[in-house]
């Protein structure tokens, strides 16, 4: 909006050496004379005045308000330049510019003739800071017909310290709403102060205060300044009491006050603000009659504040109420309401959160459905469509993780891809959406084994990290996900560069995460895993020591009752067991058993990881038996392996491994106690393990060798040649499936040689003896 002022500038040639400018302003404006330049316009004038020096004074009446330093003509520009920056007093109507010889103040340098200033000589423009710039350019001729150009520049800007009346306040606030950029803090503060000067009897005072709150809130969205959000809250608060009994206006202002409190809570994290926000939104809903067009919006705002408070205080009542309020908002809004997709999206988020807490499949199914509706109702090109697509992808991925339906996973990848494509470069949510796409591609790789998915996952996660500035609160999480993708890449391709990068990214994630952050234990656990894998590859004791330390930190930082604590304990147990295998320190083995026992005890029945943790505990107990010979450890080992096998479905990829471990522990129990039931069960478990292991699996030779060894032991007990023949066959298969250079091939050859030699001793077949000698030689 143009500033309300009336400006007239006139030039008076009172004498041959004075130029007079007259201006009339209203009191809300300031005038500054910013600069004056004088330039010769002809070659003759330029030559004659080459060495002339000038000074400039600005006078109001007889009072000098500015005097310049002496200026020589600038050879590079051919003119005299005077930087003035002199404020012209408000009461002044005429100023005089005095140009003189510095050696004698009374000497006029030029003898100019009077000229008339045409309207076109005054050039006016407004800049981005709402300042109005005026310049006067006139041609002056002196007595000798030399011509010069004089240019005087003025800056007219609002006097931000001048109190505004009600009419001016209204104009100024309307202007702030119309402008595309936020109003300056100084200008807004002046308007705010002017409103506070209005008497309480002024019927517009509450309206003005609410509009000032709006203006501060708009500034805050750009500046993120604590001052701006605090000022918004204060202005809305001052508006609210004056609207009591004022019907719909009261609901508007109470709702706006609640909104500002919610935004300030997001800035400060003060629980008082979120509690007050909930109360104000509840008041706004109660004050809004049924059928009012704003009722859905205010229900949505109440749902948002309740969901936000749940995330802070974890009170399920807030979450349940949040879902109900969002549902009411959606039900009251017609399909063509422009905000309906947004409210559907919010309902989807609250249902997804409720599913995370309660595990009710109805919630996740409804969440997916609401996100789908939000996407369908949002036209292409809408700026929020990418956000709704991203949220739909998240809910589909979560449902896949629960039900394992590949359709959900495939759709999740597609939704994330669309979301990324629709998100412009530079958008603050682009890194987050790239991260989600990368994670979904990684999950798809884990299911289908397509390296294209893994390669794309790594690329998307790298892009997400690159686009996220240091100091961003999500950077550690993005680095963690990238580290996981590098670790997966290493597992597939065996490139140590990928493993090194995995360790490095996990280290960065941990370093950037402050102590006390809820994600720190998870990040430490992942770093520990990558260091453990690096130790297994390189054998550097530093890596295994660091792995143990990181797992210990993760456990220490995780409170009892946290759902991930059993996982961190299990990881710590694995690293301690690995270090024991390397260094032989019984303290590590004892601690490993204790950590595995804690992990199992804290894992509820029915948890998908319970079989894995029972298997780990069984392995540690078997190792402890091997060291100490305590039969209790061996018996417990067999029991834990049996539980692990019983809880693992046949289709699970780890079932063969767990059957093989159970077979080993039963074989050791037979060797200690001589109970044939244990030996028969051992053979049976090894047979099941081999059957369930697909051809080409790297562990198939090992399991065939174990089966062959158990059959040989049973032959030695019962003398059944079928067992001996089967032992030879299984060990032959193990050798054939093991590539040359494999570290276990010599062991398999030696075992095969033993079975052939045993059969020769039974049957006397020289072929067996020759083959036995050959296998021993190869070994």
Q: Using CA atoms, how far apart are residues 166 and 177, in angstroms rounded to an integer?
A: 17
The H or E element containing residue 581 is helix 565-583
Q: Does domain 340-352+359-463 have CATH number 1.25.40.10?
A: yes
Whether residue 133 is predicted with pLDDT greater than 70 in this model: the reply is: no
Smallest CA-to-CA distance from 159 within 182, 136, 187, 181 is with 187
CATH of domain 10-158: 2.60.40
Continuous H helices in 359-474: 361-377, 385-403, 406-422, 430-448, 451-466
Phi, psi of 516 (to 5 degrees): 95, -15
Q: Using CA atoms, how far apart are residues 378 and 341, in angstroms rounded to an integer?
A: 6
Whether residue 459 is predicted with pLDDT greater than 70 in this model: the reply is: yes
Whether residue 121 is predicted with pLDDT greater than 50 in this model: the reply is: no
3-state secondary structure of 14: strand
Which residues on neighbouring strands pair with residue 152, listed in sequence order? Answer: 36, 136
Average pLDDT over residues 122-136: 45
**Residue with the larger pLDDT of the pair 303 and 778:** 303
Which sequence spans correspond to the domains of the chain? 10-158, 340-352+359-463, 664-779
pLDDT digit string, tens, across residues 26-56: 344 445 666 777 777 777 767 766 677 777 7
In the block, tokens 């946290």 appear at: 562
Quickly count: other Cβ atoms within 10 Å of residue 377's Cβ: 19
Continuous H helices in 119-247: 166-178, 185-197, 205-223, 226-239
Q: Using CA atoms, how far apart are residues 604 and 613, in angstroms rounded to an integer?
A: 11
Q: Using CA atoms, how far apart are residues 533 and 495, in angstroms rounded to an integer?
A: 12
Q: Which pLDDT band, with edges at 50, 70 and 90, does 76 fall under?
A: low
CA distances from 149 to 34, 82, 100, 138, 146 (A): 17, 14, 16, 6, 10
- For the chain, the straight-line distance linking the first and the last C-alpha, in angstroms and rounded, comes to 93
The whole-chain average pLDDT of the chain stands at 84
pLDDT digit string, tens, across residues 204-247: 777 778 888 888 888 888 888 888 889 888 888 888 865 555 55
Smallest CA-to-CA distance from 461 within 440, 478, 446, 444 is with 478
Classify the phi-psi angles of 466: left when phi > 0, otherwise alpha if psi is within -120 to 50, otherwise beta.
Answer: alpha
In the block, tokens 């997966």 appear at: 488
Quickly count: other Cβ atoms within 10 Å of residue 486's Cβ: 25
Same topology, domains 10-158 and 340-352+359-463? Answer is no
Q: Which pLDDT band, with edges at 50, 70 and 90, does 18 fall under?
A: very low
| Chain centre distance of CA 188 | 33
Residue 530 corresponds to which tokens in the numbers above? 């990558």
Whether residue 8 is predicted with pLDDT greater than 70 in this model: the reply is: no
Average pLDDT over residues 419-447: 94
> Dihedral angle at the C-alpha atoms of 507, 499, 611, 682, nearest 10 degrees?
-140
Any idea which architecture 664-779 has in CATH? Alpha Horseshoe (1.25)
pLDDT digit string, tens, across residues 591-628: 999 999 999 999 988 888 899 999 999 999 999 999 99
Whole-number pLDDT of residue 92: 56
């Amino acid at each position: 909006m143009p500033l309300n002022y009336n400006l007239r500038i006139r030039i008076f040639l009172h004498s041959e050496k004075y130029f007079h400018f007259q201006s009339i302003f209203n009191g809300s404006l300031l005038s500054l004379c910013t600069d004056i330049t004088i330039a010769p316009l002809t070659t003759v004038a330029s030559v004659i005045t080459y060495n002339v020096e000038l000074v400039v004074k600005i006078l109001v009446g007889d009072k000098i308000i500015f005097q310049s330093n002496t200026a020589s003509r600038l050879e590079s520009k051919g003119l005299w330049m005077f930087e003035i920056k002199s404020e012209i007093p408000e009461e002044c109507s005429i100023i005089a510019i005095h140009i003189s010889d510095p050696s004698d103040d009374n000497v006029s340098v030029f003898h100019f003739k009077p000229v008339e200033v045409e309207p076109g000589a005054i050039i006016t423009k407004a800049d981005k800071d709402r300042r109005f710039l005026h310049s006067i350019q006139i041609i002056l001729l002196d007595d000798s017909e030399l011509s010069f150009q004089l240019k005087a520049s003025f800056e007219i800007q609002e006097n931000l310290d001048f109190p505004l009346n009600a009419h001016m306040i209204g104009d100024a606030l309307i202007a702030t709403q119309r402008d595309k950029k936020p109003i300056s803090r100084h200008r807004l503060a002046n308007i705010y102060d002017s409103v506070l000067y209005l008497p309480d009897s002024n019927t517009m005072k509450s309206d003005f205060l609410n509009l000032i709150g709006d203006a501060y809130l708009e500034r805050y969205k750009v500046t993120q300044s604590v001052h701006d959000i605090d000022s918004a809250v204060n202005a809305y608060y001052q508006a609210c009491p004056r609207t009591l009994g004022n019907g719909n206006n009261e609901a508007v202002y109470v709702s706006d006050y609640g909104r500002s409190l919610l935004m300030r809570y997001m800035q400060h994290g003060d629980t008082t603000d979120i509690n007050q926000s909930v109360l104000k939104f509840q008041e706004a809903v109660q004050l809004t009659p049924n059928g009012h067009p704003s009722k859905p919006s205010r229900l949505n705002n109440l749902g948002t504040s309740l969901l936000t408070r749940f995330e802070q205080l974890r009170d399920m009542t807030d979450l349940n109420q949040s879902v109900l309020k969002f549902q009411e908002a959606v039900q009251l809004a017609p399909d063509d309401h422009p905000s309906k997709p947004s409210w559907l999206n919010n309902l989807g988020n609250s249902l997804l959160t409720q599913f995370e807490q309660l595990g009710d499949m109805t919630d996740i199914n409804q969440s997916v459905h609401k996100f789908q509706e939000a996407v369908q109702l949002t036209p292409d090109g809408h700026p929020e469509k990418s956000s709704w697509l991203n949220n739909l992808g998240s809910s589909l991925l979560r449902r896949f993780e629960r039900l394992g339906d590949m359709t959900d996973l495939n759709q999740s990848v597609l939704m994330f891809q669309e979301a990324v494509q629709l998100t412009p470069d530079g958008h603050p949510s682009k890194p987050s959406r790239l991260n989600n796409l990368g994670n979904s591609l990684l999950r798809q790789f884990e299911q289908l084994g397509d390296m294209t998915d893994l390669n794309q996952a790594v690329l998307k996660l790298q892009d997400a990290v690159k686009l996220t500035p240091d100091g961003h609160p999500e950077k550690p999480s993005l680095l963690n996900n990238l580290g996981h993708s590098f670790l997966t890449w290493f597992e597939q391709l065996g490139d140590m560069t990928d493993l090194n990068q995995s360790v490095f990214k996990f280290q960065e994630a941990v370093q950037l995460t402050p102590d006390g952050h809820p994600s720190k234990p998870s990040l430490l656990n992942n770093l520990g895993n990558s260091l453990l894998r690096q130790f297994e590859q390189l054998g550097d004791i530093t890596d295994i020591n660091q792995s143990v330390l990181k797992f210990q930190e993760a456990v220490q930082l995780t409170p009892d009752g946290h759902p991930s604590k059993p996982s961190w304990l299990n990881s710590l147990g694995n690293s301690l067991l690995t270090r024991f295998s390397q260094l032989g320190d019984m303290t590590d083995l004892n601690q490993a058993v204790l950590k595995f026992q804690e992990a199992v005890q804290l894992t509820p029945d029915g948890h998908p990881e319970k079989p894995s943790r029972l298997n780990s505990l069984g392995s540690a107990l078997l190792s402890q038996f091997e060291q100490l010979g305590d039969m209790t450890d061996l018996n417990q080992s067999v029991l834990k392996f049996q539980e692990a096998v019983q809880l693992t479905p046949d289709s699970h990829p780890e079932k063969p491994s767990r059957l093989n471990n159970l077979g080993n522990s039963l074989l050791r129990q037979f060797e200690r106690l001589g109970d044939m039931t244990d030996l028969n069960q051992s053979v049976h478990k090894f047979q099941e393990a081999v059957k369930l292991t697909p051809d080409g699996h790297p562990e198939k030779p090992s399991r065939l060798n174990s089966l062959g060894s158990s059959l040989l032991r049973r032959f030695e007990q019962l003398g059944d040649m079928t067992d001996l023949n089967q032992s030879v066959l299984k060990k032959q298969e193990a050798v054939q499936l093991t590539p040359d250079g494999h570290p276990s091939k010599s062991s398999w050859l030696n075992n095969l040689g033993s079975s052939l030699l045993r059969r020769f001793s039974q049957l006397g077949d020289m072929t067996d003896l020759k083959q036995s000698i050959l296998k021993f030689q190869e070994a």
